[in-house]
Structure 1
Amino acid sequence: MSQPTEIRIPDFFRKGIIIWVVIIIGVLVALITSIYTVPAESQGVVLRFGKYLKTVEPGLSYKLPFGLERVYVLPVRRQLKQEYGFSTPGGTNPTQFADRRARDIEKSMMTGDLNAAVVEWIVQYRINDPELYLFKVLDPEGTLRHISESVMRTVVGDRTVDEVITIGRQEIEEEARERLAKLVKKYELGISIDQIQLQNVNPPPPVQASFNEVNQAQQERERMINEANGEYNKEIPRSRGVADQKIQAAEGYALKRVNEAMGDVARFNYRFEEYEKAPEVTRTRLYLETMKEVIPQMGKKIILDEDASQVLPFLKLDAGSKGEL
């Protein structure tokens, strides 16, 4: 049985194939390592030999292959957040929350009146300077966590426990945001602070029941104060209305008496003027008018002439003729 004929490829052909394969692989690697895409909400920071070169906008871009240039993609147009004292499941940011032990330490604080409080909050921020963010500080987001905790402890430590838990939450948020923004700018983290939100602010669990009782008592006090104010607001206007009514009635009566007095004065002045013109006539007229009003009120009366003082006149005494002469 005959043996198969062996086909031998010349050595120069083998070497040529290997060279082409290497060239093709190198070209593919160069293409793969030189083409990159920056997402719409991000910017790319290009480094050449480890040194900052430029910042590129979203889209398809090219760089030197084989690791000569490296690109760090940063979500500069997306709002990031860090949570303190608690954690939301499914967070994608590695520095969004700390481990359980660190969270317990973060939220345990002391107020200005030496009371304990459990404070949980959120810091919302953006990367506004990629160059500073990458090269100025080794761990900018870790530094942000430490600064934020320090600022919150300072702000909470300047207030009473009632302000922290109830009425002072908005002021705490605003003051903490302003303080944190100044420190972030001072440390050149390349970050801007958008907002700080207080989440759960409560007293420690061992005193939670007592604190709730105090809150209930305060609410009951506020309710009673509001009811008293309501009664006050109801009674005072009514009393004022009654007082105004009496005052107006008195003013009306005073005006009436004044007008009557002025009328009497005017009438008297008028009669006096007439009296000065003809005193005898006026005196007689006034006498007759007065007698006209007085005599009918005297009942039975007998009028004698002064000349008949010694003569007994005949009088027709009729009981039914009252006032008849």
Structure 2
Amino acid sequence: MSEIRPFPNAPQIKLDPRRILVGIGVVFVAIGLFSGIYQVPANSVAVVQRFGGYLKTAEPGLHFKLPWGIDQITIVEVERRQKLEFGTATQGASNPYQYEEDFNEQQREKNMVTGDLNAVLVEWEIQYHVEEPIAYVFNVREPLPTLRDLAEAVMREVVGDRTVDEVLTIGRQEMESKALERLQTLTNGLKMGVRIDQIQLGDVNPPAGVKASFNEVNSSQQERESLINQASGEYNRVVPRARGEAVQKTSTAEGYAAKRVNEAEGDATRFKALLAEYLKAPEVTKKRIYLETMSEVLPSVPGKIILDEKASSFLPLMNLRQPAPQPPAADPKLPAR
């Protein structure tokens, strides 16, 4: 019985095992060379592990590692400030853990209860950067999910320690500072190698059902603060002026008192000196006092005439010319002729 070939005219192919092995080796080496070259971006470093253990930290640039899984690299961005968002989402983020994609999960994150058992909706974000890449890679299995859980726990703790008025109005800055301090303490305790740069509160609102009432309360508080500021401004304007007037009047009174005291002391001194002269020569002193007094009084007396007691008649000495009589003034009530 003859052998039947499916393609009797097809050429026979002979395989050389050595060439096959050489080809496989070349492909294997090429794959190893290509897989052993890696590049580190300018804002990052690469943590290199060999058989799972830490080997070195590679700086930005082109590097070579042992292929086929012997060396593994983890790129860590150390020069970039990253953020995690809670209760909101910025589309187009490069970090997969930056926000929760599920809308229901976002609503759960921002629903919180204050210390006085009121519900509020709090949106916030944290900004951080990797400070120690080795600790970031080795100390925590999943650093970003862990950081999200820590941040949410800290914010709920901070909100739960305050009243709803503090959360909605005057307590925002203090809450941000307290949350930053608390979160940094927790990350340091876990040795995550992360530095928290900032915690910033976004929209903080009451639930939709009571938002109108809370807005009225906020408006009243703002009006109250405005009135307090106006009163403080009026106080600062009036009180310094009143104090200045008081100081001026006090200075005037003190000056007047000093003047009167000096005058009284001068009069007393003059009286004592006059008394001493009077005791020495009473008649002369009385006459001098009389003459001095008359010299002060007579100039103020109008139409005075001084006569010698021996004069026989004083009419020749008088000016008998009198001014011409003036017609009487017209009465303004009488009609004019």
* Amino-acid identity (%): 51
- Further displaced range: 27-36 or 130-139: 130-139
Q: Matches of 2:165 and 2:114 in 1, distance apart?
A: 9
Q: Which amino acid aligns with 2:89?
A: S
2:331 corresponds to which residue?
Answer: none
1:127 matched residue in structure 2: 130
Contact kept, 8 Å, 1:45 with 1:73, in 2: the verdict is yes
Unaligned 5+ segments in structure 2 are 1-8, 320-337
What amino acid sits opposite 1:133 in the alignment? Y
Q: Residue type of the partner of 1:37?
A: Q
- What do residues 195-231 of structure 1 show as CA deviations (whole Å, max 9, x unaligned)? 2111222222222111111111112222222223333
CA distance in 2, matches of 1:181, 1:52: 26
| 1:222 matched residue in structure 2 | 225
User: Counterpart of 2:189?
Assistant: 186
Q: Alignment partner of 2:158: what SS?
A: helix
Q: Secondary structure at the match of 2:122?
A: strand
Q: Secondary structure of 1:137's partner?
A: coil
1:94-109 to structure 2, matched below 5 A, reads 94-98=96-100, 99-109=102-112
Q: Per the alignment, do residues 226 and 199 of structure 1 end up closer, same or farther by CA in structure 2, a change over 3 Å counting?
A: same
Distance 1:205 1:232 in 2: 41
Deviating more after overlay: 219-228 vs 239-248: 239-248
- Offset, 1:316: 5.0
Equivalent residue, structure 2, for 1:78: 80
Check whether the contact 2:169–2:218 (CA below 8 A) recurs between aligned residues: no
Where 1:213 maps in the other structure, the secondary structure is: helix
Deviations 1:251-275 (A, max 9, x none): 3333332233223223222322322
Aligned position for 1:91: 93
Compared CA separation, residues 141 and 292, structure 1 to 2 (3 A): closer
Cα separation, 1, equivalents of 2:295 and 2:318? 18
The aligned runs of 1:23-62 (5 Å cut-off) are: 23-62=25-64
Native 8 Å contact 1:33 1:67 kept in 2 = no
Q: 1:39 to 1:258 in 2, by over 3 A?
A: same
**Unmatched 5+ stretches in structure 1:** 306-313
Whole-angstrom distance in 1 between the partners of 2:54 and 2:244: 81
Give the TM-score, by structure 1 length.
0.81
Q: CA deviation at 1:54?
A: 2.8
User: Aligned-pair distance for 1:318?
Assistant: 5.6
The structure-2 alpha-carbon separation of the partners of 1:159 and 1:37, relative to structure 1 and needing over 3 Å to count, comes to same
How many Å apart are 1:8 and its aligned residue?
A: 6.8
1:270 counterpart SS class: helix
